Structure 1
């Protein structure tokens, strides 16, 4: 039986105690300043009990406490250190500062939407908000596993966030790709085979760092992607089942790989692109020692404003803004370039999904959907609309 009864505290304050019996037969209570608040709360509680989703506030952990349990579980499952680090950033920078003190049983679907709105008002991008809410869903999943919550307020949630950011990846032009190949040839060493393989085969940078000579099929003219190197230089499994794939390799890349194999540092791991002592090469070294200098030498650069500790534009003694020249692209851009070349050559979306190792066709369309557009067909359609309305006339 659920009731709301008036209580007068020793201090003289009037409070209303709402009480009910939970699904386990235990009597629970909560006090309110107004009777109407207690009655409204009991309506929600009875509804949750009938659906089997009620967790008493006395045993419900705070979001901060549940977050710590989730991160602990992520480490126990052996997730990659960089993946766990990303989750920790979501928790420490975006979740705990906003809702860390709230209990899980307080977070309803409307409350999660309000949380997303607060993140947006604080300047978080739409993509970041989506990632953070996914992490919040992971926190609830772990809490359910431990019996600390029965709710799942993020499941099926549609945030409807306004997103004005251009989702299309930044892709090097053909002239820039030619300049990169020329620069890699001039630089010598691993640069030419590495960048030819990246541009014409499109593996992820982590897959390139984990590529073995046994994965290069010179006779079959393809490379087989079967492992990757993470940010901690550990060799491990690929991101998904779809990532295990074979990619055709053109003659120019195969020839460069054959020549590189003759002088490649010996590696106990059998790596194609090891560091100088045969171990896993770091992402930063590939960028700082190879790709960055090649781009700067070719004039493929961005000029960025330098800021001071307060975040304001820095200036020199004459008051002139201080700028810094940086390489225009990261290593992942070469993967995008490869996909764009395949699409231009007539590969269909399903082929692109397979060759890129995407987990679903939706990922392929989300990243490269705009490249499948038929500009000539669109123009013909526009001209047809004009003809239907105006015939042969034009308006100037």
Structure 2
């Protein structure tokens, strides 16, 4: 392996010079054969840097010559093909990252040409909304979107590294991936905690929603609020999973965005949740009029559509949640296309009801809550890790200095 200077004269008589790095690598498909690789640079500094890096990579067995390196777009397709075990909605999200945010900017680059500097420049363009080559316009991406698509690019490079298509994963070398504790805390502060009345419906708002709800939406909202199931779990819930005698329901499956039935989100998602008496009575009454599956003539899903099959998530939001909140007066306002305020539901996602369930489990009994320990709350929610519950809802747990017991205890030492 060497670096040498090459000097030559052009047809016009002009003297040119370049620096050539020459080395050889073993070919994987031919035994006992080595292939010579030559790379040319205009400056000696660049040639020396490349020479030093190649020596290190060859020693580690991670070097991949440019001729063997696929483009980012090809590597992305290889990675997507390997995601066969993931949920369809997850794969769709990854494909959207590649199609809209990665390939337009980096797709034609070979993996071997990717550097930390190029990735940082790509991130800056996404944040600022700089159009990709060939595009006339582009919108600014949020910090969260940039973080997510960078993670997707890192996964693409990891897959390519395992296939022997690239020597290193430059995304792992980004400074943003090595944030210190103070920086991570500042990021969490900027994101903000879940707030009652903003992200979590207040108890009086929940009471108003349940009073306003009628028809098939009454039992649905009761289960969502008092059992804390995810929207996908509510849509996949079967009558055989509801134990009326024991007053509990069992989460064994969920319905995805395409109405396809699959296992819960995680292993912990398969769980048993107690059902309060009022909610249980509402389910008993609903079962008498619940639509049966036309294909079997039997009751199957607890909250189905008119034909007894999985109800679409969009229908639940537009026909059930938003009308119930509007009727209950749990509303806010937003600006329309003419910048005029229009009335809208204050909470537009079912996850807000799951947030309320968590807060209800956490709150003290004197405040109308269940006052459950963190581990039990995590199990009721079906979180895969107790740390998820602590990060999301830890600030809602009563603190000792907020309780009347502390004042009483202080008086004992007066």
Structure 1 length as normaliser, TM-score? 0.84
Q: How many pairs does the alignment contain? A: 364
Question: What is the deviation of 1:332?
Answer: 1.2
Match of 2:390 among 365, 369, 380: 365
Q: Please list every run of 5 or more consecutive structure 2 residues that lacks an aligned counterpart in the other structure.
A: 28-33, 130-139, 364-369, 407-414
Verify: 1:376 aligned to 2:408, yes or no.
no
Change (3 A) 1:254 1:44: same
Contact 2:244 2:280 in 1 (8 A): yes
Deviations 1:135-166 (A, max 9, x none): 11221233234332242344583256864232
The match for 1:174 is: 203
Q: What pairs with 1:39-118 in structure 2 (closer than 5 Å)?
A: 39-74=48-83, 77-108=84-115, 112-113=119-120, 115-118=122-125
Query: Helix, strand or coil: the match of 2:38?
Result: strand
Deviations 1:160-199 (A, max 9, x none): 6864232536111111111110111xx22x2111111110
Verify: 1:260 aligned to 2:286, yes or no.
yes
The match for 1:203 is: 229
Q: Supply the distance in 2 between the matched residues of 1:9 and 1:92 (Cα, whole angstroms).
A: 46
Question: What is the deviation of 1:339?
Answer: 0.5
The match for 2:307 is: 277
Q: What pairs with 1:243-392 in structure 2 (closer than 5 Å)?
A: 243-267=269-293, 268=296, 270-307=300-337, 314=338, 321-329=339-347, 330-344=349-363, 345-372=370-397, 374=399, 376-377=401-402
Q: Please list every run of 5 or more consecutive structure 1 residues that lacks an aligned counterpart in the other structure.
A: 308-313, 315-320, 382-396
Question: What is the deviation of 1:222?
Answer: 1.0
Higher relative contact order (CA 8 A, sep 6+): 1
Contact 1:23 1:49 in 2 (8 A): no
Query: Helix, strand or coil: the match of 2:6?
Result: strand
Q: Supply the distance in 1 between the matched residues of 2:404 and 2:43 (Cα, whole angstroms).
A: 65
Query: Helix, strand or coil: the match of 1:263?
Result: coil
Q: Supply the distance in 1 between the matched residues of 2:225 and 2:403 (Cα, whole angstroms).
A: 29
Contact 2:62 2:167 in 1 (8 A): yes
Q: Supply the distance in 1 between the matched residues of 2:357 and 2:329 (Cα, whole angstroms).
A: 21
Q: Which moved more, 1:253-262 or 1:365-374?
A: 365-374
Question: What is the deviation of 1:239?
Answer: 1.4
Change (3 A) 1:8 1:325: farther
Question: What is the deviation of 1:106?
Answer: 3.2
Contact 1:4 1:39 in 2 (8 A): no
Query: Helix, strand or coil: the match of 1:20?
Result: strand
Q: What pairs with 1:109-258 in structure 2 (closer than 5 Å)?
A: 112-113=119-120, 115-122=122-129, 123-155=140-172, 157-158=177-178, 163=187, 164-168=190-194, 170-184=199-213, 187-188=214-215, 190-258=216-284
Question: What is the deviation of 1:84?
Answer: 1.8
Query: Helix, strand or coil: the match of 1:143?
Result: helix
Q: Supply the distance in 1 between the matched residues of 2:111 and 2:99 (Cα, whole angstroms).
A: 17
Change (3 A) 1:209 1:9: farther
The match for 1:394 is: none
Question: What is the deviation of 1:378?
Answer: 9.8
Question: What is the deviation of 1:256?
Answer: 0.7
Contact 1:275 1:281 in 2 (8 A): yes
Verify: 1:19 aligned to 2:39, yes or no.
no
Q: Which moved more, 1:291-300 or 1:134-143?
A: 134-143
Change (3 A) 1:277 1:57: same
Question: What is the deviation of 1:83?
Answer: 1.5
Contact 2:57 2:167 in 1 (8 A): no
Contact 2:3 2:19 in 1 (8 A): no
Q: Supply the distance in 2 between the matched residues of 1:138 and 1:261 (Cα, whole angstroms).
A: 46
